[in-house]
């Protein structure tokens, strides 16, 4: 049911009608003149600096407030200020919202508001749109003084029509001119207004958000933006023929917060009682530190920006050694630099939380884009045997909770813990239940009582490898931490026995941790044709794809791993219920059938989780992975599953 404008290319003089305090539709319930739908995917795409993301964030927030499930993904240009109207410079946002909980970005968009036509090309390449996607396109370029621009616009229109998009050219900028002399800076609120009308969002909520965001800049700015919002509402109502939509709200029991994964990490750090985050800026991890830098002092914490990642890690280790378990937040290149000190932390058993917000890789790669490529480096990056727990967040909620878990594991098991998240979670925004934080989430005050006589600094339990830890200040606990092979007394040792024992004790801690874990829950039936195994931010998309296939009667299930080292137990049993087991990942792998070369075939290099499962669970592990730089859509995964099922001759 595409939205159609009443009349093309007409800048009708729009007067305000939706008065503040009422929903843009003027009513709180679905009405006769509304189309009731389950969910919608909307994008706003523009040049960097035009505020598309801000508009989308407000739209997402008010949708959440209205009781919808929401998932937003930012479309981030890789450069600070890409030239305007550039294909690689698209800046924008996708909002998927609906009656149910939204867990991923979904498939193709239903409606796109674009402030110029060029920014759509990158999205098209990513298959963000399909036949029937409605484009509300700024029409001013049609009459641009520069003939090259006019030509580009015309060519693009042709292409869009050829792709089957429903294009509505609209003079949005012109309509804004009545309210602002610089529409480049206000058009985003106008667009928000349009969307508010189309999807019947509560205009009061939007105005409140505007107040909250622009309040600091003074009443005039607030008023102007609110006026633009209302103008957008009116414009849409007048210009668009179609009835607006109504998306029924969910029943939500818990109180909810709306935030992105990096903010959730920041909250997790605070909720874990971690007092110091020692970091060096790196995309896409930095915004977590920005968030913390602004609020950390509410809980008495401090962000230390070190001179580099090595120093950040050294500082965190020092802080942890002195009793205050610290956290360092980074991304791939930073993790690489921390390798040597991470080995020390494992060797000397220093508790510590290392968060790696993964990005496109290897090397500098795609700094702003999504990938899950650091799994093997997290497990095996250090020369020598350096066992350590590795966790991965699958949701924004996980970003908060697993940070708290990581701190607890770090201290209980006296070990650095790596928590993997990624660029998708980092900037994805979603409503999540508000956690009920209690005092026991916070780290307890450090123990400064005298150290128990006769207990040595590495008093390893023979079975679990665990040992209590003296904190500087504890009388009688004096010891010298070292990265050299050492005895229980932390004395430097050169003998075989000490070396082997130390290695064993550190390894045993992983086994001990594993013994506390339960098998992962199976999404779907316990028996079937195909089991999909995933980790990290692909959770929502995988489960949605599985649901679709199941709805069509396919015997597909999935499991999602939050613990990668040690792995959750029970995988062998789970896998044995399925004809085929495959991983789905966002990382590079050769095709499972191998690479053709000189007529023959060379065996393929598997994806990273598949490699781990082959080693740890054994048996045939199939895989599918790609590195598009953006999240997987449920449809992509669904297609792969169906292909695999066809191979199995079950479809």
Partner 1 sequence: MFGLKKDWSLDVLPRYFTFEDYEGGEARWCPGCGDFGVLTAVQRICRDKQIPPEKTVCVSGIGCSSRLPHYMHTYGFHGLHGRALPIACGIKSRRPDLTVWVATGDGDCCSIGAGHWIHAIRYNMDMVVMLFDNNIYGLTKMQTSPTTRRGFRTNTHPEGAWIPHLDPTAVTLGFTNVSFVARTVDWNPPHLYATLQKASEHRGMSFVHILQRCPHFTGKVFEELQQDPALTPLLTHDDGIQLDPDVAKIFPNHQVHDPSDHGAAMQMVERDDVVPIGLFFQDQSRPCYDEFMKQGLEMATEDKLRGLEQALDHFMI
Ligand X SMILES: Cc1ncc(C[n+]2csc(CCOP(=O)(O)OP(=O)(O)O)c2C)c(N)n1
Site string for a second copy, 320-349 (x = CB under 8 A): ------------xx-xxx-xx--xx-xxx-
Question: For residues 566 and 563, what is the distance between their CA atoms, to the nearest angstrom?
Answer: 6
Residue nearest ligand SF4, Cβ-based: 80
Contact between 281 and ligand X by CB under 6 A: the answer reads yes
Q: Which token pair is 581?
A: 């087991």
List CB contacts of 393: < 8 A, sequence separation 6 or more. Answer: 261, 399, 402, 419, 420, 421, 425, 536, 537, 562
Of the candidates 480, 511, 595, 648, which one interacts with partner 1 according to CB under 8 A?
A: 480
**Residues from 255 through 294 that contact a second copy (CB under 8 A):** none
Between residue 571 and residue 600, which ones bind partner 1 under the rule CB under 8 A? none
- Give CA separation, 81 vs 50, 124, 484, 616, in Å: 11, 21, 48, 46
Q: Choose the contact partner of 88 out of ligand SF4, a second copy, ligand X, none; CB within 5 to 8 A by kind.
A: a second copy
Residue with tokens 């050299």: 484
Contact stretch for partner 1 (CB under 8 A) within 217-225, 292-300, 383-391, 571-579: 292-300
Of the residues 155, 241, 308, 573, which one makes contact with partner 1 according to CB under 8 A: 308
Instruction: List the single partner that 499 binds among ligand X, a second copy, partner 1, none, CB under 5 to 8 Å by kind.
Output: a second copy
Residues recorded for the chain: 651
Within residues 382-421, the interface with a second copy by CB under 8 A covers 382-387
Determine, following the binding rule CB under 6 A, whether residue 334 of this chain makes contact with ligand X: yes
Pick from 142, 579, 614, 635 the residue near a second copy by CB under 8 A: 614
CA distance 124 to 161: 13
281 scored as a contact of partner 1 (CB under 8 A): yes
Applying the rule CB under 8 A, the residues between 81 and 110 that interact with partner 1 are 81-83
302 touches partner 1 (CB under 8 A): yes
**337 contributes a contact to ligand X by CB under 6 A:** yes
Can residue 13 be called a binding residue for partner 1 (CB under 8 A)? Answer: no
C-beta of 32 vs 80, nearer to ligand SF4 = 80
Q: Does 534 bind a second copy (CB under 8 A)?
A: no
Using CB under 6 A, which of the segments 280-288, 294-302, 375-383, 393-401 binds ligand X?
Answer: 280-288
**In whole angstroms, how far apart are CA 424 and each of 128, 257, 358?**
16, 18, 9
The C-alpha torsion from 462 through 466 and 470 to 471, rounded to 10°, is 170
List the structure tokens of 378. 């997290």
What is the closest distance, in whole angstroms, from the C-beta atom of residue 536 to a second copy in the complex?
14
Any contact of residue 374 with a second copy (CB under 8 A)? yes
Residue 30 binds a second copy (CB under 8 A) = no
- Count residues binding partner 1 (CB under 8 A): 89
DSSP state of 492: B
Selection from ligand SF4, ligand X, a second copy, none that 281 binds (CB < 5 to 8 A by kind) is ligand X
- Dist CA 397 CA 2 (whole Å): 35
The encoded tokens of residue 43 equal 């994008």
Looking at the Cβ atoms of 467 and 625, the one nearer to partner 1 is: 467
**Residue 72 near residue 209 (C-beta atoms within 8 A):** no
Site string for a second copy, 64-93 (x = CB under 8 A): --------------x---------x-----
Dihedral sign computed on CA atoms, order 589, 591, 593, 598: negative
| Among 337, 411, 335, 333, CA closest to 379 | 335
Quick check: 576 binds a second copy (CB under 8 A)? no
> How many CB atoms neighbour CB 365 within 10 A?
18
Interface with ligand SF4, residue 492, by CB under 6 A: no
| CB-CB neighbours of 447 under 10 Å | 15
Binding track, positions 57-86, relative to ligand SF4; x by CB under 6 A:
-----------------------xx-----
Closest separation in Å from C-beta 508 to a second copy: 6
Distance CA 451, CA 409 (A): 22
> What's the CA gap between 353 and 443, in Å, rounded?
13
* CA 423 – CA 367 distance, rounded (Å): 9
Residue 68 binds what, of partner 1, ligand X, a second copy, none (CB under 5 to 8 Å, by partner type)?
none
Parallel, antiparallel, or unpaired for β 595-597 and 600-602?
Answer: antiparallel
Which of 124, 221, 299, 512 binds partner 1 (CB under 8 A)? It is: 299
Site for a second copy in 162-201 (CB under 8 A): none
* Cis peptide preceding 183, ω within 30 of 0: no
Using CB under 6 A as the criterion, what x/- string covers residues 360-389 for binding ligand X? ----x-------------------------
Residue 567 φ then ψ, to 5°:
-80, 150
| Nearest distance in Å: CB 365, ligand X | 10
CA distance 195 to 229: 10
CA distance 514 to 318: 28
H-assigned helices in 492-601: 496-515, 539-551, 571-576
Question: What residues have CB less than 8 Å from 442, skipping those under 6 apart?
Answer: 271, 272, 273
- Quick one: what does residue 384 bind among ligand X, a second copy, ligand SF4, none, with the CB cut-off 5 to 8 Å set by partner type? a second copy
Site residues for ligand SF4, 350-409, by CB under 6 A, read: none
Residue 602 binds: one of ligand SF4, partner 1, a second copy, none (C-beta under 5 to 8 A by kind): a second copy
Stretch 99-138: interaction string toward a second copy, x if CB under 8 A: -----------------------x--xx------------
72 Cβ neighbours under 8 A, 6+ residues apart: 56, 57, 60, 93, 94, 95, 96, 428, 429, 430
Question: Which residues of the chain form contacts with ligand X (CB under 6 A)?
Answer: 280-282, 309, 333-334, 337, 364
């Amino acid at each position: 049911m595409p939205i159609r404008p009443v009349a093309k290319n007409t800048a009708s003089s729009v007067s305000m009608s939706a008065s503040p305090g009422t929903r843009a539709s003027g009513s709180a319930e679905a009405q006769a003149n509304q189309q009731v739908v389950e969910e919608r995917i909307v994008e706003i795409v523009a040049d960097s600096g035009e505020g598309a993301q801000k508009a989308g964030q407000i739209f997402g927030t008010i949708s959440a407030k209205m009781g919808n499930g929401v998932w937003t993904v930012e479309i981030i240009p890789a450069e600070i200020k890409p030239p305007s109207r550039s294909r690689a410079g698209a800046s924008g946002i996708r909002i998927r919202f609906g009656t149910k909980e939204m867990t991923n970005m979904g498939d193709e968009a239903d409606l796109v508001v674009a402030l110029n036509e060029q920014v759509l090309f990158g999205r098209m390449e990513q298959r963000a749109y399909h036949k029937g996607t409605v484009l509300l396109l700024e029409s001013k370029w049609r009459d641009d003084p520069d003939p090259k621009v006019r030509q580009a616009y015309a060519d693009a229109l042709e292409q869009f029509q050829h792709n089957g998009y429903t294009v509505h050219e609209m003079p949005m900028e012109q309509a804004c001119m009545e309210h602002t002399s610089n529409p480049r800076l206000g058009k985003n609120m106008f667009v928000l207004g349009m969307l508010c009308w189309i999807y019947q969002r509560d205009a009061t909520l939007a105005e409140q958000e505007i107040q909250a965001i622009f309040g600091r800049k003074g009443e005039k700015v607030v008023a102007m933006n609110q006026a633009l919002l209302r103008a957008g509402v009116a414009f849409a109502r007048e210009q668009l023929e179609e009835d607006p939509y109504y998306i029924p709200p969910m029943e939500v029991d818990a109180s909810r917060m709306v935030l992105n994964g990096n903010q959730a990490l920041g909250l997790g750090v605070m909720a874990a009682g971690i007092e110091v985050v020692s970091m060096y800026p790196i995309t896409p991890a930095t915004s977590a530190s920005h968030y913390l830098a602004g609020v950390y002092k509410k809980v008495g914490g401090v962000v230390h920006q070190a001179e580099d990642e090595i120093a950040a890690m050294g500082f965190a280790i020092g802080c942890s050694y002195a009793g205050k378990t610290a956290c360092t937040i980074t991304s791939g290149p930073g993790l690489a630099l921390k390798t040597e000190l991470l080995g020390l932390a494992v060797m000397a058993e220093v508790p510590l939380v290392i968060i790696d917000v993964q990005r496109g890789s290897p090397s500098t790669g795609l700094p702003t884009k999504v990938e899950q490529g650091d799994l093997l480096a997290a497990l095996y990056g250090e020369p020598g045997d350096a066992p350590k727990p590795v966790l991965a967040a699958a949701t924004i909620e996980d970003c908060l909770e697993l940070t708290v878990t990581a701190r607890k594991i770090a201290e209980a098991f006296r070990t650095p813990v790596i928590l993997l998240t990624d660029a998708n979670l980092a900037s994805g925004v979603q409503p999540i239940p508000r956690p009920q934080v209690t005092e026991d989430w916070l780290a307890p005050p450090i123990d400064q009582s005298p150290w128990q006589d006769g207990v040595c600094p590495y008093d390893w339990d023979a079975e679990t490898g665990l040992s209590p830890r003296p904190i500087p200040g504890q009388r009688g606990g004096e010891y010298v931490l070292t990265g050299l092979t050492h005895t229980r007394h932390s004395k430097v040792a050169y003998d075989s026995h000490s070396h082997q024992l130390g290695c064993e004790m550190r390894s045993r801690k992983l086994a001990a941790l594993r013994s506390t874990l339960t098998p992962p829950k199976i999404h779907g039936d316990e028996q079937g044709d195909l089991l999909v195994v995933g980790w990290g931010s692909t959770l929502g998309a995988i489960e949605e794809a599985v649901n679709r296939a199941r709805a069509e009667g396919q015997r597909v299930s999935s499991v999602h791993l939050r613990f990668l080292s040690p792995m959750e137990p029970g995988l062998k049993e789970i896998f044995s219920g399925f004809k085929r087991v495959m991983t789905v990942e966002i990382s590079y792998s050769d095709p499972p059938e191998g690479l053709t070369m000189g007529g023959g075939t060379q065996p393929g290099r598997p994806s990273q989780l598949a490699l781990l499962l082959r080693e740890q669970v054994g048996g045939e592990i199939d895989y599918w992975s790609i590195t598009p730089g953006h999240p997987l859509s449920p449809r992509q995964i669904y297609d792969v599953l169906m292909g695999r099922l066809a191979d199995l001759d079950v479809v």
